Amino acid sequence: MTLLVRLQVAVALAFVAGVAAVCQSANPPPLGKSFEEIERSAIREGKVRMATALQRDEEPLVLKGFYQKYPMIKVEHTRVSGVARTERFFTEALAGLVEFDLYDVSDELKTKFVKAGLLAGPVEWRRFFPNVPPIHFSPDGYFVGVGFSTHVIAYNPALVPPDRVPKRWEDCLDPYWKGKFVVDTRARTFATLAHAWGDAKTLDYVTRLKNNQPIWKRGQSESLTQLAAGEYQMICGAYYQSIHRILKLDSRARLAMSLPPELPVGMGESPAVMKGAESPNAAVVLLGWLASAEGQKGYDQIGRGSPFLEGTEKWRRMQQVGARAVSGGWEAEYETAMLEKISAAWGFAPGKK
């Protein structure tokens, strides 16, 4: 065989391989009709490509139990975050490029992904995973809540006397804190509380909060670091998981938290299986496992465990202080509207929160 012929054969083989790959991508394996069938197919698929906001050091904590139960399924995790990244992924998916089997879609773009037909399903999550709290699954059958954002009050125990530790949201209105506490300008805490309080009480509260002269900050990483350093005394509305992470890295950090009776909770991490995923069955098995009692043990270790699942760390702490979770579940429109109203009450223009 001449060199020219060999080159022609090689090119032809490469072309056939390319066509086969495209066909395989265009015709992904079907989702099983029962959990047993899904599990068998997941093992055959052998891997799942996962994209979430998990930090590099958090990934092994969350996935350790899954590897113990399914050592034959490899998880390829990529850290992604931010609306801009999700927008780019949305555009790529529209063009037929599906980089991940499951993707943590930001709240702002969930409806957009569903309407564009970019997600697999609806998936019968509750039938496949009957022991998981129903609130972990979106009613439309696309998203699964695996990491939960919980809002608390943070304080510096070296600066706040025991009799001044804020235990209720109303304590943030005490003139004692005037000019000495921080409030995040993105009012997610109070927008979620509105599900329990209603519009009138919430808007009255945030107006009184503004009048108590908080120090306005955007984001919490820097604020919590400054709180621990003694620059501030208290943050009214901080993320449980952020405080948990700092204390895990440094148990001597001067940080503590109070869990008020009404505890705002959001779906902080809620991935979906992508349409056209190479490993849809493995993606379903992984997502369902992460939402289960077994999977939530890993999320407990990073402060994102479910408050709706009996036995988690957060659930136990809530029982100790008599707190209850306040959540709008999967309804995002109301909180989005409340964020705008609170921003107006605080004098912040939309988009400047």
Same domain for 334 and 188: yes
Q: How far apart are the first and last CA of the chain?
A: 70
**Which residues, in sequence order, are CB contacts of 292 under 8 Å at separation 6+?**
129, 131, 132
Distance (Å) of CA 126 to CA 35, 44, 134, 290, 310: 11, 23, 7, 14, 17
**Owning domain of residue 182:** 149-266+316-346
Whether residue 74 lies inside any domain: the answer is yes
Alpha carbons 98 and 283: distance in angstroms, whole number: 13
Q: What is the pLDDT of residue 17?
A: 37
Whether residue 14 lies inside any domain: the answer is no
Structure tokens at 148: 């939960």
- Are 42 and 284 in contact by the 8 Å Cβ rule? The answer is yes
Which of 23, 2, 60, 69 has its CA nearest to residue 42?
69
Same domain for 169 and 101: no
Q: What is the pLDDT of residue 107?
A: 82
Whether residue 137 lies inside any domain: the answer is yes
pLDDT single digits (tens) 247-269? 999 999 999 999 999 999 998 89
Q: Look at the chain and report how many structural domains it folds into.
A: 2
Alpha carbons 172 and 317: distance in angstroms, whole number: 21
Q: What is the pLDDT of residue 86?
A: 82
Q: What is the pLDDT of residue 150?
A: 96
SS3 content of the chain, % helix, strand, coil (to 5): 50, 15, 35
Same domain for 249 and 130: no
Alpha carbons 258 and 331: distance in angstroms, whole number: 26
Angle at 269 (CA atoms; ends 263, 273), nearest 5 degrees: 145
Same domain for 237 and 162: yes
Distance (Å) of CA 219 to CA 108, 127, 182, 186, 352: 18, 38, 11, 8, 12
CATH assignment at residue 229: 3.40.190.10
The distance from CA 215 to its chain's CA centroid, rounded to whole angstroms, is 27
pLDDT single digits (tens) 92-112? 999 989 999 999 988 888 999
pTM of the model as a whole:
0.86
| Placement of tokens 């702002």 in the chain | 108
Whether residue 10 lies inside any domain: the answer is no
Q: What is the pLDDT of residue 109?
A: 86
Same domain for 139 and 158: no
- Are 244 and 303 in contact by the 8 Å Cβ rule? The answer is yes
Alpha carbons 31 and 42: distance in angstroms, whole number: 9
User: How does DSSP assign 115-137, residue by residue?
Assistant: HTT-B-----HHHH-TTS-GGGB
Q: Tens place of pLDDT for every residue, the chain, 353 residues?
A: 443 434 343 433 333 334 333 334 456 678 889 999 999 999 999 999 999 999 999 999 999 999 999 999 999 999 987 777 888 889 999 998 999 999 998 888 899 999 999 999 899 999 999 999 999 999 999 999 999 999 999 999 999 999 999 999 999 999 999 999 999 999 999 999 999 999 999 999 999 999 999 999 998 889 999 999 999 999 999 999 999 999 999 999 999 999 999 999 998 899 999 999 999 999 999 999 999 999 999 999 999 999 999 999 999 999 999 999 999 889 888 998 999 999 999 998 654 43
Whether residue 307 lies inside any domain: the answer is no
Same domain for 168 and 133: no
Same domain for 168 and 72: no
β-strands 234-239, 262-269: how paired?
unpaired
Same domain for 188 and 285: no
Whether residue 24 lies inside any domain: the answer is no
Same domain for 283 and 250: no
Same domain for 69 and 43: yes
Quickly count: other Cβ atoms within 10 Å of residue 119's Cβ: 25
Same domain for 174 and 223: yes
The conformational region for residue 222 under phi > 0 = left, psi -120 to 50 = alpha, else beta, is alpha
Whether residue 248 lies inside any domain: the answer is yes
Q: What is the pLDDT of residue 250?
A: 92
Same domain for 69 and 162: no
Whether residue 89 lies inside any domain: the answer is yes
Structure tokens at 274: 């992508």
